[in-house]
């Protein structure tokens, strides 16, 4: 049959079964991503890191169903479409800028190669946050950030390469050890402080978990990050204060099972994509704002700075 004749072929209930199988498979991956095995190569974590992007399969399958003129394939696309909307559809709704909230917080990996700390701070101040958490603070750049933030944030604490700036008094400042065993000395990426807000004391954690890599030989190398997440989860479990806020570059999305030691104890925003990395073409939000005994009502990104991450701001309601 020629291509011209095939294009005029009537719609059929027999064709398109293979496309129908692919639609079912995409729907199952969306709904049952947690049962995808983690080995080899942390494939389950890789899937969950980019889970929202599975939705791109829906329009592709829809076009192929029309080309094949298949009722079966066309109807089958409803399955992944419904699964995606159930999981992520809420993020398509406009955010409520007037929703009640107690405070605004901001999280940003400023990059150890950022050429413009002062300009970065000017961007961050646009969100008018009460708490600002920064990662990848180098000894050379730290004085510039301290000088640029001091007028608006009289209280601050740093630990290794992470820092917290606050409009509220801080106390109980200490290191949080999230260093995996295989990492050498001098790796210091966690701190904890108590912020005395008008609503009472809040434990604020700032953390920067190890990076992950994607390679042909090792797959999705997330072992160090997962080990660090276990350590952070243990620290959170031992926290005596009821109200907790976690700000950090966790190198993980909230769907990723590697973050379960943390995400099982704290809640992030119910919706909002707010992809933060990489800054030039954001594909995932690996910069997180999470809370216990509080609600993260909204999260959004700010304009790009000199970092490879976008700043992430959030509103929290006690």
pLDDT at 193: 98
C-alpha Rg value of the chain to the nearest Å = 23
Residue 98 lies inside a defined structural domain of this protein? no
| Residues 108 and 253 grouped into a single domain | yes
Rounded Cα distance between 148 and 119, Å, is 9
Report for 7-21, 97-111, 304-318: range of highest mean pLDDT: 304-318
Residue 125 lies inside a defined structural domain of this protein? yes
Please, is 196 exposed, middle or buried when counting C-beta atoms within 10 Å of its C-beta (0-12, 13-18, 19+)?
middle
| Residues 82 and 111 grouped into a single domain | no
| Residues 88 and 111 grouped into a single domain | no
* Contact status, residue 161 vs residue 134, Cβ threshold 8 Å: no
* Residue pLDDT, tens place only, 210-251: 998 776 555 578 899 999 999 999 999 999 999 999 999 999
What percent of the chain is modeled with pLDDT above 70? Answer: 94
Cα 142 from chain centre: 25
| Residues 207 and 82 grouped into a single domain | no
pLDDT at 281: 96
**Is the confidence at residue 17, as pLDDT, over 70?**
yes
* Contact status, residue 11 vs residue 71, Cβ threshold 8 Å: yes
pLDDT at 15: 84
Mean pLDDT of 182-211: 96
Residue 84 lies inside a defined structural domain of this protein? yes
| Residues 79 and 107 grouped into a single domain | no
| Residues 36 and 111 grouped into a single domain | no
Residue, of 57 and 4, whose pLDDT is higher: 57
| Residues 132 and 27 grouped into a single domain | no
Where is the domain boundary, 92, 112, 133? 92
CATH of residue 157's domain is 3.60.10.10
| Residues 70 and 147 grouped into a single domain | no
Which residue range forms the structural domain that includes residue 31?
3-92
- DSSP strand pairing (103-109 vs 312-317): antiparallel
What percent of the chain is modeled with pLDDT above 90? Answer: 82
Q: For the chain, where are the alpha helices, taking DSSP H only?
A: 3-7, 17-31, 43-49, 57-68, 71-76, 78-88, 117-125, 142-149, 223-237, 260-263
| Residues 153 and 298 grouped into a single domain | yes
pLDDT at 98: 64
pLDDT at 1: 46
Residue 97 lies inside a defined structural domain of this protein? no
* Residue pLDDT, tens place only, 103-135: 999 999 999 999 999 999 999 999 999 999 999
Please give the model's pTM, rounded to 2 decimal places: 0.90
| Residues 84 and 170 grouped into a single domain | no
* Domain total in the chain: 2
* Contact status, residue 290 vs residue 267, Cβ threshold 8 Å: yes
Residue, of 2 and 146, whose pLDDT is higher: 146
| Residues 159 and 269 grouped into a single domain | yes
| Residues 83 and 142 grouped into a single domain | no
């Amino acid at each position: 049959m020629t291509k011209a004749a095939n294009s005029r072929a009537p719609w059929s209930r027999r064709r398109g079964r293979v496309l129908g199988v692919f639609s079912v498979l995409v729907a199952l991956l969306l709904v049952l991503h947690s049962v995808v095995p983690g080995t080899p190569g942390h494939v389950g974590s890789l899937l969950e890191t980019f889970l929202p992007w599975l939705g791109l399969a829906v329009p592709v399958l829809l076009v192929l169903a029309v080309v094949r003129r298949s009722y079966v394939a066309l109807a089958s696309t409803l399955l992944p479409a419904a699964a995606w909307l159930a999981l992520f559809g809420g993020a398509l709704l406009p955010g409520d800028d007037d929703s009640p909230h107690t405070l605004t917080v901001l999280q940003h990996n400023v990059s150890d190669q950022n050429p413009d700390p002062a300009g970065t701070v000017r961007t961050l101040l646009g969100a008018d946050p009460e708490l600002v958490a920064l990662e990848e603070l180098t000894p050379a750049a730290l004085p510039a950030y301290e000088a640029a933030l001091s007028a608006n944030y009289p209280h601050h604490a740093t630990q290794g390469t992470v820092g917290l700036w606050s409009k509220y008094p801080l106390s109980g400042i200490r290191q949080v050890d999230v260093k995996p065993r295989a990492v050498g000395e001098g790796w210091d990426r966690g701190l904890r402080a108590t912020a005395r807000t008008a609503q009472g004391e809040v434990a604020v954690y700032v953390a920067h978990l190890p990076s992950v890599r994607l390679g042909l030989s090792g797959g999705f190398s997330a072992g160090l990050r997962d080990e660090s997440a276990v350590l952070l989860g243990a620290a959170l479990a031992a926290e005596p204060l009821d109200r907790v806020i976690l700000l950090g570059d966790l190198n993980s999305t909230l769907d990723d099972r590697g973050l379960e030691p943390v995400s099982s104890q704290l809640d992030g925003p119910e919706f909002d994509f707010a992809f933060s990395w990489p800054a030039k073409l954001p594909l995932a939000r690996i910069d997180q704002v999470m809370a216990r005994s509080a609600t993260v009502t909204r999260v959004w990104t700010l304009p790009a700075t000199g970092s490879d991450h976008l700043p992430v701001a959030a509103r929290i309601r006690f």
